[in-house]
Amino acid sequence: MEQHTGKIGIREYIAMVILMIGTKLADDLPSILFQKLENAAWFTPIIAGFISIIPIFFLIKVLSQYPKTNLMEILQIILGKPIGYLFVFMLWIMGLAANTFDTAIYTDIIGTMYFTETPTIFIYIVLMAVSAYGAKKGLEQIGSVAASVITYIKVSLFIALILAFSNGNINYIFPIFGPGKWEVVKESSLKVSLYIDFIYLGVIASYVSSTKAFTKGTWISLIIVIIEIPIAMLAYLCLFDYESVKLLNYPFHETIRYISLGFLTNIETFFFPFWLLASFVRFSIYLYISAVMFGWLFKIKNFEYLIPPFATLLVILGMIPETPTFTVADMKAKALSFATPTFFFLPLILWSIMKIRGGNKNEKKEM
C-alpha cells in the first residue's frame, strides 16, 4: 500500500520516541518508583537510562548491520526460524500486556481526575477509537502529527514544572540517598525496562529515512528522556514531599491541580488537552507496532486492518481489572522488573551470535 512506502525523517522519529517514553512521567510510573525509593526515586530514570545505553548500543549495532530489514526478520536470521519466531511472539505478547496496562491506567486517569460521571467503558472506547484512527493512518502521518504537536506539549509541561518548582521546597530532596545508596542502585537497575520501548523501535527502524538518522535519533531521544523524567519527578517531590507523594496515584495530575498562575486557578484545564494529545500519539504508535508485529507473525500483508480489532481487544482486556488504580499499578510494577532481563540481554545475545557467525553475510557480499 502506498502509505507505508513513505519514510519518516529524524525529526518525526525523535518526536515519536519522546512522546512514547516521555509521556510516562505523567502517568503512574512516578508513583510506582516513589513507592520503593521514596525521595531518591528520581535517580531511577537516570541510572536506568545509563544502564540502558548498553542494550541500546548493541541493538543499534545489530540493526545497522541489516539495513532495510525489520527487527522480526533480524531475529529470525540470527536466531534461526523457530527460536526467532518464538522471540517475536514473546515480544508481541509483552507489548500487548504493556499496552493493556497503559490504556487501562490512562482511562482511569481521565475517569478519576477529570470526567467522573462518564462511564469508564465510554472513555476507553473514545480513547482507543482516536488512537486506532491515528494508527490506521500510518507511521508517516503519526510521525508528522507527533512532530507538529511536540513543541506545544513540551512547552506546557515546562510551564507546569516551573510553576511546581516555584511552589515547592528544594529541601525535600534531602536526605539525598533516600533509603540508601545500594538500595537506589539495586531498585533502579531492576527498573531499566522503563526504556524497553527502544527495543520495539527496532520494528519500525526500517521506516526511518536512513540508518544514520535512526542511530542519531535514538541517542538524542534517550538523552532527552533521561533529562526530562527525573526533572518532572523532582518537581513532584519538591511540591509534595516524599511522604505525601507516595500517597498520590497520579502525581502529574495532582500537580497541575495544585499549581495556579497568579490569579488564575484551576489551570489543569489548560494542561489536560496537551496531555491527551500526547497520549493519543503514544497509543497510536503502540497500536501500529503491535499490528506490524502481529501481521508479520501470521503473514498478514494488510496489517493495518488489524488495528481496529486490536483496539477493541484492548478495551475488552483493559476493562477486566477491578479498581485499575491499584491492581494495574501492581501488575505494572511487577512487569517492569520482569521485562528488565529481556530488555537488557536480548540485544547482547543478538549481537554476540551475530559476531560468532561472522556478521551479515549478504551485506558483505554486496560490499
- DSSP classification of residue 111: I
Which residue from 80, 93, 122, 341 is in contact with another protein, where contact means CB under 8 A? 122
Determine, following the binding rule CB under 8 A, whether residue 261 of this chain makes contact with another protein: no
Interaction of residue 247 with another protein, rule CB under 8 A:
yes
- For position 179 contacting another protein by CB under 8 A, the verdict is yes
Min separation Cβ 161 and another protein, Å: 17
Can you tell me which of 35, 209, 260, 312 binds another protein, judged by CB under 8 A? 260
- To which H or E segment does residue 190 belong? helix 181-190
* Among 352, 300, 314, CA closest to 54: 352
- Which of 118, 148, 210, 362 binds another protein (CB under 8 A)? It is 118
The answer for residues whose C-beta is within 8 angstroms of residue 15's C-beta and 6 or more apart is: 143, 146, 147, 150
Q: Residue 171, interface with another protein (CB under 8 A)? A: yes
Determine the 3-state secondary structure of 208 from DSSP.
strand
Q: Alpha-carbon distance 327 to 137, whole Å?
A: 33
Does 254 sit near another protein (CB under 8 A)? yes
240 binds another protein (CB under 8 A): yes
Measured from the CB atom, the residue of 170 and 223 that comes closer to another protein is 170
Question: Between helices 268-297 and 139-167, what is the axis angle to 10°?
Answer: 140
| Interface with another protein, residue 330, by CB under 8 A | no
Q: b/e for 300-323, b at 16 or more Cβ within 10 A? A: eeebbebbbebbebbbebbbebee
- Residues contacting residue 361 through CB under 8 Å, at least 6 positions apart: none
Q: Is 291 helix (H, G, I), strand (E, B) or coil?
A: helix
For residue 283, state whether it binds another protein (rule: CB under 8 A): no
Reading the block at residue 11, the C-alpha cell is 525529526
Does residue 38 belong to the site contacting another protein (CB under 8 A)?
A: yes
Nearer to another protein, 117 or 366 (CB): 117
Instruction: Report the SS3 class of residue 264.
Output: strand
Binding of another protein at residue 305 (CB under 8 A)?
A: no
Judged by CB, which is closer to another protein: 247, or 300?
Answer: 247
Q: Is 275 in the site for another protein (CB under 8 A)?
A: no
For position 244 contacting another protein by CB under 8 A, the verdict is yes
- How far apart (Å, rounded) are the C-alpha atoms in residues 290 and 133? 14
Query: How far is residue 183's CA from residue 185's CA, in Å, rounded to a whole number?
Result: 6
CB of 10 to another protein, least distance (A): 34
- Single out the residue of 19, 104, 79 nearest to residue 285, CA to CA: 19
Among 1, 2, 82, 116, binds another protein (CB under 8 A): 116
Q: Which of 148, 166, 169, 210 binds another protein (CB under 8 A)?
A: 169
- State which residue, 127 or 329, has the beta carbon closest to another protein: 127
Q: Is residue 119 a contact point for another protein (CB under 8 A)?
A: yes
- CA 275 – CA 353 distance, rounded (Å): 42
Closest Cα partner for 34 from 249, 331, 340, 256? 249
CA distances from 331 to 54, 98, 293, 338, 344 (A): 26, 10, 24, 10, 20
Residue with Cβ nearer another protein (68 or 182): 182
Q: Which of 113, 159, 267, 317 binds another protein (CB under 8 A)?
A: 113
Q: Which of these ranges, 17-25, 115-123, 134-142, 305-313, lies near another protein under the rule CB under 8 A?
A: 115-123
Residue 148 interacting with another protein (CB under 8 A):
no
Per CB under 8 A, does 39 bind another protein? yes
Q: Which residues bind another protein (CB under 8 A)?
A: 38-39, 112-119, 122, 126, 129, 169, 171-172, 174-181, 240-244, 247, 254, 257-258, 260, 265-266
